[in-house]
Structure 1
């Protein structure tokens, strides 16, 4: 410990022990604990106590907890745990009988202070720090602390209850660590006292009739098997698994969600999943006993496992598909798709078959699946017809249950689909059919064929939550292949939702996103072009509808329509059919009008859309109705006006992104006079109050530099000769336009910007420029003329905060000389560090805490 800190520590300990003294806030106490832990980890805790006896004196006030504030008492308990984590220091504190009075019944337990959750949490954290060695385990076994931890599992504070469960896991793991190393096949009767007590408590809780006790036991085991993969955990699971299996015999199954978490943590354990411990039987039995909403997460977890018996995977997938099977059965008129006339497309696409019984999953250990599930999933096959009423009953107890189960199922299948271990082959066609059917049930266009279907129509009509989930799932299904008839139905239902006046703004946004996914995944026609005929027809039907969305009174609908327009133009703006249909619609004119929308998000999206339309040559600003022959200002002028005058940052950022892209693409309006364009944009961007606009301005300046001087070298680092630098004459000539557009004025000012991303961007730009002008500066040598001195003086003023005076006209020689003199690498390194990279001074912390108590004068304290 630093000598200056040692001198202040006794005074601080006196302040903390004195209930009359004001105590610094919790942040100060946390910093103080961190400091003590750092010292203890770096050396000897016993030496720390011997050199600073005030710390032992500080712990004594815990004997009278009623005199201390709860946060100071919690601090002292945690401090004692940190110091006693080393066994020699633990023994030293034990000799003074201090630890039993801190953590035993003679301490804060049962007193008035114990009612504060902060104290109970500090007591648990202190014990967790202390329990690091065998001596601590003996102390716990004889002090009654383990029983207290048991009671805190049901604490009213969720933080305390969770910490108590984690502490039990920590104690059990530590107590089993040493003996298990010598005896991997250790029997429960031979376990250490603490382990036997904890396991006995878990057994008692699993047998309890009260669900909270069962939940506590399951949560402790879940934490244990999730974090500990030692061989002895197999013995523990074999010992406790019969009690876990007995929970499945109760109706209803208690603590079902906690049971699912436990079984999945066991299945993921490399020690347990590969052993013959009846795990797969228990999982199969659990799937058949839980309700559909409870079994869904378990089924998803099983299907995510790398190794699992095929029969169990088949059962899990069947459970996951049950709600969709119910939907298809309730609306299918024939073996074909919902709404089809005649037999139509058979849904016998590979997926899953009848629910496997637990006996079918009796294989122990081996039989890892290769992902192939050869059974089929036509509507009505899951569980057979006998199970159909049961499936309907799961969906139809109430609207809330129906909506919740369908949303959960769709979300689970959406998560499962991209995984490599998903069931194979994946049932694209039936899943597409189910998603389309659910969307039709929600908008009322489905035809129910049973009482179940009628109830589903009533429950799902206009349900925004289910619509969002189904559209998300439908979008992910675009990555697969399906019959053309189904794809046609997909586009049809999407068009219905995009045109319906009843679609909510959030549903419309999801519908636009799903539409883009399906359009982008459409196969290209063999005769050329970017879209197959059905997708082209869909776009031509959608474009007349898009103006209605751009005129919606809801700003988020207008915004979603503009985002969709931007993406479609970027992807298919060069296709003749799409261009013709777009120009024949009102979309370009309405998009231009939305540049003046009252909502800033919409204006920003309109800027992006207009920039894309202009890049594709699809931008047409109509003549003013009052002055049909009047000259309209160009889009460039319109966007510059937004950049200069818009009160919100989003549209201005969008303008800068459009301008930067235009410069990269050599847009016609930019290429006409690039230097003039860059000068105008940088002049406005440099004065913007939004740091993102200034940073984007530097990005535009960097593009201008690269186009003028060439891209950074990408030659092989192992090449024998370095890349040739630009000739000095060309470099000097290229620097002239940079001076004329005032690029250096902007870049140097940004170098000292108060927003770090702007300064970092400027540093990168200047480093690139210095590398490009290296040959020129080598030939010129070091320059120290009046221009260089003036520029360096101006930069010093700017760095000091006086940026009112511009740099004025600059000469290339002066710029190059200043670039060589600046320590840009050092500045970039400093900017890369976070704002709190410097370690806070412990001395400063002690001084501030003492100053708060009035021990030090105000001028002796430092702000930490």
Structure 2
């Protein structure tokens, strides 16, 4: 440590006012520095000209902040003086966080000791926090955290110890005994500072000597949840650090052989587990849960063997204290790769816990056990029985005759769960919703129990929905009481419909499937169904229609599903006329899904066209609610793609309606809300991709009209979708269409091989390049990025397809580049006019699109994010810098 002692300690622990910033400090702070203000996302990011364009990134590149540059060193003394002066207005928390992040970056890249020796004002700031004065709690918290960042390196830790700075900041003589300790932010800063500091053996000795561990114990019960959580995490960190000592082999089971900090922490955990106070038990369990979740070294096995008897002893208390935290701990231990569950008695503890906890408490534990990969079969069977118990009780309570309860494979047990279900509506609803959610999570997992009781679970879900709807007819007093509790319960209805939809992945007896469709139709018809319940009923219905039995080699709906559909469509018509917009919206979404799946099949087409649904969908394009109009646009697009829209007007049928294409173009041009316009652009893009009948008649006119409207739209998503449509047209024109839709009226047209300039003629005629170049300077980054990708795709195609004659051509592009420069400057009023393919190719060659793409990938404020900018802004808030010298950091 000779190098450490060469410089004198830069401050003394004396009291007194902090001197004002020296003249040199103020002069350095006021010295004008190169600053950068927020620009448009592209403006200033590229330049067009005769040569290649270069993205302008500014001087504050991404590497700024890895070292303390001279400009920042000159500003730092003045900033430290401001932070130490309680009379100065404090910087906000965001600036202090950014300042702390900057110091973390510097210390991670270099020496903390060297940083303090070259900038003694930092140590002066830390020493100033020890003086009795009215300090800001935010600055004191920042200083504590900053001290921990510096002391994380052992040589800097020793340097700070020489001046007694660390004991006075983190020991009892520091903020612990002052009025500032009442602020949660100070207590949080104290914990975070110790968390950063505890990185080496010297820090462990310091923690043991200064009494910090005892303070951390008390902070576990802090009134601030953030402070209490941070204290528990700090204990885990200290325990892990102390147990990674140089001793050979795993730690001994003898308490006297453990490292001092570990011995103290484990002793405190043992004492808490023996306590009669539930908060202390909860704190100990939470620390152990985090320990086994993050530490997987061999010593964790030793720790569990030592503490497992105390954990198991909690099960002997009535009621079991801190049940939720106990479940979390046992699952954390079971998932730990450092433990062999079968050899440390964990399976037995888990089985005992399942039998001791109430069904509400045991549900999460049962689900966690069933998710384990190497769990014993006996324990899995017990966990599955616990998980199924509430539904088994429902089936038993609603059974029509003794012995006909449809018990879930003998899962019911002693039916003590009935007493848990029935005391109150809240208990009943909560337990059933959690059970359904747990089973829904378990169903798609590969380790789910086998055989899976599909039929009983279907029966239980249908029974719950009937109980909530009031259509069940239980004969027992228990069943009637259960029906009264669940009648009209929206929470259970939503959970049961979600679970019923998930069960569609399996099969069931035909009579049960019939009951499923019947209860779904009942919910869709019921005037009492809430909008959210109706939405989930539509979703479950679609999933069950998808899973209906199919004739081999045929994807059409089976006769039972078609019969259900004939009953469903009148219900859908009614829902499309609902006064509630959420219901109309859900009905349109359901129609779009069904049409996309079965729109090309005879049975579905005949049933749909015989209904009023297509006409109602067309009327909803003018709905007063924008969400409904957007869903109607999507449904109309899907119906039109399948030829299921009502007939357009014609001389033969003068009573027909306006064509869907005209309707959607009108919406794109005139709708006041963004959602319908976005939906229209998605439909047009899909129509172009699938070669829709209304598009292939005159594709160029269609594309030109859509791009002209989209280019003037104020919604960036509409403009971005316009670029997607332009890319589809570009691919089709150059002979690279996407995968054709199986229901397309005609296959996509593939352009024959020809010179690139000739192939670009259609793109020029629809003014695609004017749209793309204008989007390149869009103030919304996603639009500019999409345009850049489109032009890069075209240039790659140009490189692979250009002929020697095209390579030798050199058209005059000066006027186009001048117009692009005006666009870049913000003047986009003048259009580019008609472009020739040769001009487009030449302009593309001169642009640095790769550099622009890199500039667009940067955050919009990457130029302004510099440490110097931050320091100047913080000084400007107290008047040391002029207002015109501050950045927009």
Whether the 8 Å contact between 1:180 and 1:231 is mirrored in structure 2 is no
Whether the 8 Å contact between 2:811 and 2:842 is mirrored in structure 1 is no
CA distance in 2, matches of 1:523, 1:232: 56
For 2:243, what is the secondary structure of its paired residue?
helix
For 2:791, what is the secondary structure of its paired residue?
helix
2:758 alignment partner, one of 724, 733, 736? 733
Whether the 8 Å contact between 1:120 and 1:160 is mirrored in structure 2 is yes
CA distance in 2, matches of 1:200, 1:675: 80
Matched, 1:332 2:361: no
Superposition deviation, residue 585 in structure 1: 0.7
Map residues 411-810 of structure 1 onto 2, 5 A cutoff.
Answer: 411-526=437-552, 528-620=554-646, 629-630=654-655, 632-711=657-736, 729-774=754-799, 775-776=801-802, 778-781=804-807, 783-786=809-812, 788-810=813-835
CA distance in 2, matches of 1:206, 1:760: 58
Superposition deviation, residue 44 in structure 1: 1.9
Q: What is residue 369 of structure 1 aligned with on the other side?
A: none
Superposition deviation, residue 210 in structure 1: 1.5
Q: What is residue 187 of structure 1 aligned with on the other side?
A: 254
Structure 1 residues 236-292: Cα deviation after superposition (integer angstroms, max 9, x where no partner) = 111111111111111111111011101100111112244522111111111111111
CA distance in 2, matches of 1:288, 1:823: 69
Matched, 1:322 2:389: yes
Q: What is residue 404 of structure 1 aligned with on the other side?
A: 430
CA distance in 1, matches of 2:475, 2:863: 70
Q: What is residue 152 of structure 1 aligned with on the other side?
A: 219
Structure 1 residues 146-169: Cα deviation after superposition (integer angstroms, max 9, x where no partner) = 111111101110000000000111
1:295 alignment partner, one of 346, 362, 370? 362
Structure 1 residues 520-559: Cα deviation after superposition (integer angstroms, max 9, x where no partner) = 1223123734222211211121112110000001101001
Whether the 8 Å contact between 1:777 and 1:816 is mirrored in structure 2 is no
CA distance in 2, matches of 1:546, 1:114: 64
Superposition deviation, residue 184 in structure 1: 4.6
For 2:827, what is the secondary structure of its paired residue?
coil
CA distance in 2, matches of 1:631, 1:588: 13
Superposition deviation, residue 65 in structure 1: 5.2
For 2:461, what is the secondary structure of its paired residue?
helix
Consecutive unaligned residues in structure 2, runs of 5 or more: 1-67, 740-749
Q: What is residue 60 of structure 2 aligned with on the other side?
A: none
Superposition deviation, residue 575 in structure 1: 1.6
Q: What is residue 830 of structure 1 aligned with on the other side?
A: 855
Superposition deviation, residue 663 in structure 1: 1.2
CA distance in 2, matches of 1:454, 1:169: 51
CA distance in 1, matches of 2:634, 2:411: 49
Matched residue count: 810
Structure 1 residues 593-640: Cα deviation after superposition (integer angstroms, max 9, x where no partner) = 00000001110111111111111111105889xx99456421211111
CA distance in 1, matches of 2:440, 2:738: 43
CA distance in 2, matches of 1:639, 1:575: 25
Consecutive unaligned residues in structure 1, runs of 5 or more: 339-346, 349-376, 715-724
Whether the 8 Å contact between 2:293 and 2:332 is mirrored in structure 1 is yes
CA distance in 1, matches of 2:254, 2:678: 67
Structure 1 residues 738-797: Cα deviation after superposition (integer angstroms, max 9, x where no partner) = 2221111111111111111111221222222223334446422355544x2111111111
Q: What is residue 382 of structure 1 aligned with on the other side?
A: 411
For 2:826, what is the secondary structure of its paired residue?
coil
Structure 1 residues 500-538: Cα deviation after superposition (integer angstroms, max 9, x where no partner) = 111111001001001111111223123734222211211
CA distance in 2, matches of 1:181, 1:456: 62
Whether the 8 Å contact between 2:728 and 2:737 is mirrored in structure 1 is no
Superposition deviation, residue 854 in structure 1: 2.1
CA distance in 1, matches of 2:751, 2:132: 77
CA distance in 2, matches of 1:286, 1:81: 42
Superposition deviation, residue 109 in structure 1: 0.5
CA, structure 1 residues 631+243, in 2 after alignment: closer, same or farther (shift >3 Å)? closer
Superposition deviation, residue 838 in structure 1: 5.3
Comparing 11-20 with 769-778, which one deviates more in the overlay? 769-778
For 2:245, what is the secondary structure of its paired residue?
helix
CA distance in 2, matches of 1:782, 1:212: 82
2:838 alignment partner, one of 813, 817, 821? 813
* Cα RMSD for the two superposed structures: 2.2
CA distance in 2, matches of 1:7, 1:815: 51
Whether the 8 Å contact between 2:648 and 2:658 is mirrored in structure 1 is no
Structure 1 residues 830-864: Cα deviation after superposition (integer angstroms, max 9, x where no partner) = 22333355582222222222222222333443333
CA distance in 2, matches of 1:726, 1:638: 30
For 2:694, what is the secondary structure of its paired residue?
helix
Map residues 36-75 of structure 1 onto 2, 5 A cutoff.
Answer: 36-64=103-131, 66-75=133-142
When normalised by structure 1's length, the TM-score is 0.91
Greater relative contact order, per chain length (Cα 8 Å cut-off, separation 6+):
2
Q: What is residue 206 of structure 1 aligned with on the other side?
A: 273
Whether the 8 Å contact between 1:643 and 1:684 is mirrored in structure 2 is yes
CA, structure 1 residues 334+838, in 2 after alignment: closer, same or farther (shift >3 Å)? farther
CA distance in 2, matches of 1:201, 1:165: 12
Q: What is residue 166 of structure 1 aligned with on the other side?
A: 233
CA, structure 1 residues 180+397, in 2 after alignment: closer, same or farther (shift >3 Å)? farther
Matched, 1:236 2:303: yes
Structure 1 residues 115-170: Cα deviation after superposition (integer angstroms, max 9, x where no partner) = 00000000001111111111111111111111111111011100000000001111
CA distance in 1, matches of 2:843, 2:752: 20
Superposition deviation, residue 12 in structure 1: 1.6
Matched, 1:108 2:168: no
Superposition deviation, residue 730 in structure 1: 4.3
Structure 1 residues 335-366: Cα deviation after superposition (integer angstroms, max 9, x where no partner) = 8977xxxxxxxx58xxxxxxxxxxxxxxxxxx
